[in-house]
A and B are shown apart, each in its own frame.
Chain A
Amino acid sequence: MPEPVQQTIRLSIGSRYENIELVQAVLDETLESLPIDEETGYWMGIALREALTNAIKHGNGLDPEKKVDVCLAVDETGVDITVEDEGSGFDPGAVADPLAPDNLLKTEGRGIFYMRRFMDKIDYDFGADGGTKVRLHKKFGAPGSSAEADQGGANED
């Protein structure tokens, strides 16, 4: 496969769940020309959906007037995805561990865990005037992401 072409794609969507499909479609098309196998691409898509869900639901409170800005950036080393909302931010360190026995049957709280699991790196940036930006990174040639390998070992939170 040829060297990845550097490219940057920016999208701005209203805070509606149906817009997640649009961003997913753009990611899928972008990944087609990159050295990322289908399985890894699938899990990157799930991670992206989790980031968008958090931005739409928790960040922007499902207010369709509030925007979520997405940037897909490809360089020679990998793919960077940033998702930025207009919310008031949160403390990533305060997110409960979904693997704790008391949390196993909770209906929420797994999104960040899945993002960490399916990407090589995630980090957060909080704007001085509000807004949360999450950056998801996937390196080319890194071990494939999978929900099957190393089960139960992802307890970064």
Chain B
Amino acid sequence: MKIEKRQRDGATILDLQGRITIGEGDVALREAVLAAVGEGATSILLNMGRVRAIDSSGVGELVAAYTTVTNRGGKLRLFSLPSRVLGVLQITQLVTVLDILEDEDEAVASLA
């Protein structure tokens, strides 16, 4: 799992690439989100467009990231979800909880 961080219009965007699976991407995602929060980020967008696979541990880390950020009064949103990643979130009804946007422009605009 490779994660690159950038800024756009006041939002911290994490571009995720690879798999969010146990022992690999799950830890990397956790550390990246905690680092962003530690640097004061309050609006975090996860670019999921290049996530190849996710398992239950990865889903758990997405939930943990969401609660970590929102419990601090911040916003965490996901965008550009591949169909397989979206499907995994749909069948566990997490699409009703997590903020999921179509693409980056929509995600940034949603923060306004």
Contact = CB atoms under 8 A, between A and B. Distances in A.
Given A49-B22, A53-B22, A148-B83, A104 B53 contact: no
A83 to B, nearest CB: 14
Interface in B40-76: 53, 55-57, 59-61, 63-64, 66-67
A98 interface: yes
A108 B56 CA distance: 7
A111 B56 contact: yes
B21 A99 contact: no
Given A53-B57, A104-B97, A105-B63, A17 B90 contact: no
A46 B22 CA distance: 11
A108 B61 CA distance: 9
Interface of A: 17-18, 20, 42, 46, 49-50, 53, 57, 98-99, 104-108, 110-111, 113-114, 117, 146-148, 151-152, 154
Nearest to A100: B93
B88 interface: yes
B94 A114 contact: no
Overall SS of chain B's interface: helix
A20 to B, nearest CB: 7
Given A147-B87, A148-B83, A152-B91, A50 B60 contact: no
B23 interface: yes
Interface of B: 21-24, 53, 55-57, 59-61, 63-64, 66-67, 83-84, 86-88, 90-94, 96-97
Contacts of A46: 53, 55, 88
Contact of A147 (B60, B88, B93, B97): B88
B82 to A, nearest CB: 11
B55 A113 contact: no
B90 A53 contact: no
A113 B92 contact: yes
A49 B55 contact: yes
A104 B94 contact: yes
B60 A110 contact: yes
A114 B64 CA distance: 19
Contacts of B63: 105-107
